[in-house]
Every structure is written in structure tokens, then in C-alpha cells.
Chain A
């Protein structure tokens, strides 16, 4: 039964009972009238019981509070000196039930509520059926009761005691859950005393009920407020808001953030980045089935609502979903970093390889050529073959120079992207126009990737090339190149965090390069 439907049902039931009861306050001793009132009370009892069994928490609470108010009015009316007999009977029957409905209004949990109401029914209306006030020695100035069908004093006393005990048991059941043993004992004691103490009248029972309700309400109302708030949060979570957003709004704490634990990567935030502990924030863990699902970091003074119990299935799944999403994002961040590292290492390797060739092989070839030259000078007879050998060495030097250039162009290494592109264009003889080139140096990997892109463009007879640095990004543009590029260039640029569009006649790329 939904909240709205229960509320409407409660309103209908009580409205139905209200009018006849109010009317009876001004009538005289009349069996028909008494039966009408009894019927009204019966409706209230049945309706309240039904809602306690089926309705949502707040509908029941509302119904019970309204019922309590109604019954207290009835009891008060019946206790007045000029009250009619029927009213007095009604008051006697209603008083214990008022205690029960008051207890039901503030108790948590369906079964404690039902037990309280059942106890109230036993001690109140049920007892009235067998209790004749006239025969009750403790009742002063009572005439024959109109409600008593089958008078039986012993049964009446027994029902009253039983009902009180059941109500007390319900209170105990509910309060033990909240772990407050002292108050539980006190309240149960109050109820039992009022129920069984010979000198206590029914009015005293009502006073006891109100005292008990106040005591319980002291705990229950804030709990109810918390629970309502928590329910609202849990519902919002189930509807798709993120936990962090919800908590930030609810608690008004702008510094609040939610981070997720991962296996091996520590705490990460929703974007997958490492979230280190921040000064001045306390951490509260949210667990699910024994595992920590999320950690809320908030300002020290702020108290988090106890969400763990209130989360229903959808909200729990949502929370776990958030954790998994964060972990996935962390993986992506890690992979990106790793890919960028691979490219940087590869570029450094190339530079080192080129330097090794320059310092190693080329030097040795030169020395070899020199030795041959000197030998040719010393042995003129062998000069021709030695000269031929020297020429071979010269050709080897040329080849090594070409290879070395392909590995890492020397201009790129020593002078940077600008001069390297100028050399590239000049060597290609295709008449490519250079529109713009950066004047300073950039990171090795960035220069190498940019050179690779522009070299490809020039190779494809681009009409113009341009490279500019704006807002920390190197922008490359080549127009008029032959389309149909494939290969690893897009990946090379992407690994450095950049984007490319190398498909059409206009090739563009943007690579982050810092300030």
C-alpha cells in the first residue's frame, strides 16, 4: 500500500467514525446511540489494525496519532461529571486502547506495532464486552454498563492485565532494538504497574499512556526525522543521483567528497584519479556485506545519516555501480599514462640509438677510412685498391648517415621541430609552403610525433604545412596532402594525449605540450 493511499484510507476511516462520536457527546442514555458509538470505535480499531499490518510507516503513525487524540477526547468526555452513561462506558473501554495507539504511533517495526494494538484491543474494547462497571468495586458512581454483553469480572480483570502485558511486551520488543535497556525497563514497569495496581483507575492508565508516549517519542521523533531523511536520500540514490551530490546538498558541506577503495590503487575519486587524504577532512566508511564500498570524506563537524540500513536494493546496486565506474576510470587513467610512457621511452630509445651510431659506427668508419688513406700514402704501389677501399668506406658512411637520419633526424635532436621541418621540406623538393613553425623547443616525444605527422604530410605532397603553439597545445595543419593515410600515426599522437584527423586532404593534429 503506498503512502498516499494509506493516508487517504486512514482519513476516510477516521472521518467516518468522527461524526457519530461527536454527536453522541450531546445525547442521553440510549442503547441505539451507544451501539452507534461502539460501531464507530470498532471501525477505528479495525482500520488502525489493518493499516498497522499493511500500510507504510508514516500512514500508520499518522493514523495512530489521530486515533489517540480521538480516544483521549472520548475518555475526557466520559470522565466529566455530567457525562452520559454511554460515554462513561466508552471512556472505560477506550482508555487502554488509547495507550496502545499512542505506543503504536511511536514504535518502530511492524510487529511491535501490531502487538501494541492487539494488547490495547484486549485491555480496552474486548474487556468492555465482559466488564460491567457497576460490579467493579473500584469504580465510583458507575451504573450498569451498556456495552457489557457477558459480564464476568474475573475475565475482565484478566483481559486488562493480559492486554497491558502485551502492550508492555511490544514496547520492550521495540525499545530493545534501539539498545536502551534502562528506559525499556522503566517504561515496561510503568505500564505493568498501571495495568495491575488495584488502586489505579482508568484515568490513571491514560496518564501512564501519555507519559510512556512522551518518553518513547523523545527517541522516536528524532529517529523518525532521521529515518525520513534517510529514506529520502535512499530514494534519490535509487533514482540516479550520485551519492556525493546528494550528501553535499543534504548536509550543506561543500568540501564533502566520496572516494572509493580499489585493490592495489588505494582510494580513487569518481573520475578515477588517485584521491589522497585531505587535511581537515574526516573519513566515514560505507560498508555493504562487510566490504567497504565507499568512503565519505567530510568536514569534521558534520554527522552523516546512517545510510547502511536505509538503502534498498536499487540504491545499493547504484552505490556498487559507482564504485565499479570509479575503478574503471582509474584503469583508463593508468592505461593512458602507461601508453604515454611507452611513447616517451621509444622516443628516447631512438635518440640514443642515433647517438650511438653517430658516436660509434660513424667514428669507426672515419678512423678506418683514415687508416686506409694513410696506408695509401705510405704504399703508393697499393694505392689504387686502397683508394677503392676508402671510397667504399665513404659510401658506407653515407648509408649510415641515411639510416641514422631515419632513426632520429639530427636537426630534430639538436635544433628542434622548426629547423627539422625546414630541412624536410627543402629535401622533398615538392614546393611545400611553410606557413608557421614554433620557435622554441618542445618535449622530445612531442617534437618527434609532430615531425612524423608533418613528414608524412610532406611525403604526400602537401601544399602547405603549419605548426603553432597555442594554449599549451601544438597544432599541426597540412593542406593538399594525398589522402589515404593509415598506420600508427593516430595512435602515436593519441598516446601523448592528442587528437588527429589525418583522413582528408586537410590533415590536422593537436598535441598537448605544456605552457
Chain B
């Protein structure tokens, strides 16, 4: 897997590079701002771009906008957004334009190399990756308000993994169950919640997240 890293903080950038390299990912370039990122992607066509949300000059959401451009101009390159903060509102614009080859992880995942690299592999494979912490933050209020009272504990677990973007196979591997069991659970969940069961795994991520309270606003 060939990756480009866009992160303006030197220490963090180096850290990510080391983690990826140690896991066998080829880091072909490290850049410090959005323009350099887009140029590098255009030139090198990496498999994945690891992008910090905050980049120069304004340090607000340059990373998000660069991600948009890469996804529209170079759809073959997957994008993994890294953020210091767990904010579902950052995710919303990413997934409204189609939850394909896009991921959102907390920067803290750098401390868990396995999670980070696994996430990269999944987005390159075409999935949508949502940080578990984000999903947990979305589930908590719903659980508290009783919107999930119709689901069993196992079903809630499966729902959160669906919201994380895992395929049925991935969920099965995570929970140690068969893929068939997961399929059944998924169908039951969607019926109980009154959601349309999209065939494609990426569509159902969006449904799950929107159900959990994500406001799908147009991409900025």
C-alpha cells in the first residue's frame, strides 16, 4: 500500500510515518499543507492519503476541503481523515457525497498502530471507516433517550459496528460469529428501527449514522 501523509505538526507527522512504515506501508511523501497534498496525489496517485483536518493557512478545515477535491478529482485514491477531536459534524459532509473510500479516525489511533493500519486497509478496499469513539458518542444519547430500547444488547453491538463501517464479514470476525448470523442480526435491526436496508455496505453506514443523530449537511 502506498500512502501520502498530510500533517503540519512535525512530531505527529513523523510518528504516523513511523507507525505506517513499521506496518509495511510505503510512505511515498509527507506534506505540510493542502495544496502540496493535492499536487502530490495528482503526481503520485497513492492508494491512500492520510490527512489532518487542520492544515495551514487558517487551521480550520483545509483538510476536509482537500479531501473533497481528492475524492472528486482522483476517486482512485482513498482518504483517511485524522482529527484531534471527536466531532460528528466533521463527518457529516464526508459521507453525504457517498461513503466510499473515506474514513475518519481520531489522531489518538496513532497509539494503536493495528487500528490505524487496519483502517487504512479498509478504506483502500473501498469501505467507509468511522472511529469507534465517534460511534460511541452517537450511540450514548440514543441509548439514554430510549430510541434503542427495542434492540437487544447484541443487536446494539452490531449496530455500532455497522456505524463504524464494517462489512458483515468484518463484524463477524470482530465478534467471533458467523457471517450468516450477522446478516440476520443486521436485517432485524434495520427492520426494528424502520430503516431501509441498503444493499451496499456503504449506504447502510449512512443510514445508521443518520439514525444515530448525524445531521447530513451538504458538503462544504
Contact = CB atoms under 8 A, between A and B. Distances in A.
Partners in one complex: yes
B145 A359 contact: no
B169 to A, nearest CB: 28
B59 A355 contact: yes
A370 B111 contact: yes
Given A363-B12, A367-B11, A429-B140, A423 B108 contact: no
Nearest to B111: A369
B213 A393 contact: no
A442 to B, nearest CB: 14
A366 interface: yes
B141 A366 contact: no
B111 A390 contact: yes
A413 B15 contact: no
Consensus secondary structure, chain B interface = helix
A427 B85 CA distance: 13
Contacts of A414: 53-54, 59-61, 90
Contacts of B12: 363, 366-367
Interface in B164-217: 213, 215, 217
B217 A401 contact: no
Contact of A366 (B61, B107, B113, B215): B107
A514 interface: no
B84 A422 contact: no
A367 B85 contact: no
A229 interface: no
Interface residues of A, number: 35
Interface in B1-55: 9, 11-12, 15, 18-19, 22, 53-54
Contacts of A415: 60-61, 89-90, 220
Contacts of A366: 11-12, 15, 107-108, 110-111
Nearest to A372: B111
B25 to A, nearest CB: 16
B138 interface: yes
Interface in A376-398: 377, 390, 393-394, 397
Given A373-B111, A393-B111, A427-B141, A363 B87 contact: no
A428 B145 CA distance: 11
Interface in A423-454: 423, 426-429, 431
A482 interface: no
A358 B84 contact: yes
A411 interface: yes
B108 A419 contact: no
A411 B9 contact: no
B117 interface: no
Contacts of B22: 374, 377
21 contacts: A366-B11, A366-B15, A366-B111, A370-B15, A370-B110, A374-B22, A393-B111, A405-B85, A410-B85, A410-B87, A411-B89, A411-B90, A414-B59, A414-B90, A415-B60, A415-B89, A419-B92, A420-B89, A423-B87, A426-B213, A427-B137
